[in-house]
Amino acid sequence: MGRQLSILRTAAFAALCMSTVVIARDDDSSHHVSRATVAARQKIFGKNNVDARTGRVRSEKVIFSWITNASFAASIKGRVVLLDTFVTRLEVEAGRTPLVIQDLVDLRPEALFVGHGHFDHADNAAYISNLTGATIYASPETCENMQLDAARIFGEGTTVPCVSMTSSGSIPGSEIITIHQLEPVATIKAFKHLHSTNTVPQDPTFPAVVINSPVDGQCETPCNLADPRDASMFPRGTPLSDVLDISTSRTGQGGPISIFYQFKLHGDNQFTFAWHNTTGALREGCALPNNLPDGTPSQPGQDTQGCFGPEVGQQLAAVMGSLGPTDVEIGSVVSLGFGINGERDIVTYNQAIAPKVFIPNHTTAVAVESSSLEWKVGYLRVQDAMSIPLDQRPELMWLVDPNDYLRPLVFDPRDDRWRKHGGHHDD
């Protein structure tokens, strides 16, 4: 473990960058696209943000559109990508979730960034990639599952383009990968971090604020409980899985191995956003256990409880800070430890990343549908309990399902709000 931590320190603080060779595509929205693509982009990014003739998304803006759980469509100055590909309650016809899988195919993203390989993040990825040619970015273990998915869905011998982030078995934070997919618009950094976990004890440094699971359908606020009116407002339709199985494979160890992505624009105040679809226990350096069938850890440096140790957590926090300043963080407010430390883990990520704006995700899986505002209560209360100064708290852009699905969140990178110290608009 000592040798591994020495490697980690060298990698993190020397800013070791393993360069992934990727040919950035010309922005296909600069050419005529199908009517279906124009319609899908207008549906997902808003009619005012998409040229009705060419399908071009506004090239001077950064736009996010929530497509449930931790999944977002993003247009980075006109370059269209998906952040995760899972869709909660994906049905044959649009219903509570106002899109169908064909909308994501018609969107024609050039890349799919998968945070980790669990179904509620990686489902649909191989399917979308095969039909669009979009490159998948994921851990090497998740990439292995993508090839299994492609062969199962489309037939033996079918493969999809999947680029591995970090080396198999590396310690979280020990490798910082540079991704060139969006050049010359933006540079992407990626590194392994911690999946959320319920294996740590209650943190004694602040009064406990936990998210309670319901007992007999009721519990004290904040509670992981669906609004009882939700079912009558949004009756269930036919699940897509009844007619088309495009789920991801559950085999192997890739599920909880998690990748953190940071996007930095060139020029335009170097507008920077980070996206992570899970949030581990930085203080203890613990993640979800990832053990072999015989009970032994599958990942070097991780014990049977999923812990790498506080030093790894500290180094991850240092890596997050070293890549700043970060303007927008899109991060998971849900930790599997919600019954132990509430939303403490996301607050510690906020502290390390120090964003100006925080957009929550993962509020429709584990966090049950229509429970989002309960999690907002828990988040605000744990900030108070941890005595986070008001001037160190990010501006919240809280998302509530299903109201905020496909509601474009538009950022102008040239706004003076994002100007860095000593910087200029075109720095």
pLDDT in tens, 277-325: 999 999 999 999 999 999 999 999 999 999 999 999 999 999 999 999 9
pLDDT digits (tens, 9 = 90+) for 340-367: 999 999 999 999 999 999 999 999 999 9
| Of the candidates 161, 135, 140, 122, the residue with the CA atom closest to the CA atom of residue 18 | 140
> pLDDT above 90 covers what percent of the chain?
89
In this prediction, residue 56 has a pLDDT band, given cuts at 50, 70 and 90, of very high
Residue 303 has phi, psi (to 5 degrees) of -85, 180
90-105 as b/e: b if 16+ CB within 10 A: bbeeebbbebbbebbb
84 lies in a domain? yes
Bridge partners (DSSP) listed for residue 281: 286
CA distance 214 to 426: 51
CA Rg value for the chain: 20
Closest CA to 401 of 39, 40, 71, 103: 71
Those residues whose C-beta lies under 8 Å from the C-beta of residue 284, and which sit 6 or more positions away, are 200, 307, 309, 310, 313
* Residue 401 domain boundaries: 2-236+245-415
Does 172 reside within a domain?
yes
Confidence of residue 13 (pLDDT cuts 50, 70, 90): very low
- In a domain? residue 420: no
421 assigned to some structural domain? no
Does residue 15 carry a pLDDT above 80?
no
Number of structural domains in the chain: 1
- Confidence at residue 33, expressed as pLDDT on a 0 to 100 scale: 84
CATH number at residue 390: 3.60.15.10
Q: How confident is the model at residue 32 (pLDDT cuts 50, 70, 90)?
A: low
pTM: 0.92
What's the CA gap between 252 and 366, in Å, rounded? Answer: 22
- 390-425 pLDDT per residue, tens: 999 999 999 999 999 999 999 999 999 999 976 544
Question: Two tokens at 403?
Answer: 């109201």
| In a domain? residue 283 | yes
Predicted pLDDT at 218: 87
Within a domain: 425? no
Q: Is residue 423 part of a domain?
A: no
pLDDT at 28: 45
> Whole-angstrom Cα distance, residue 249 to residue 416?
45
Residue 255 inside a domain? The answer is yes
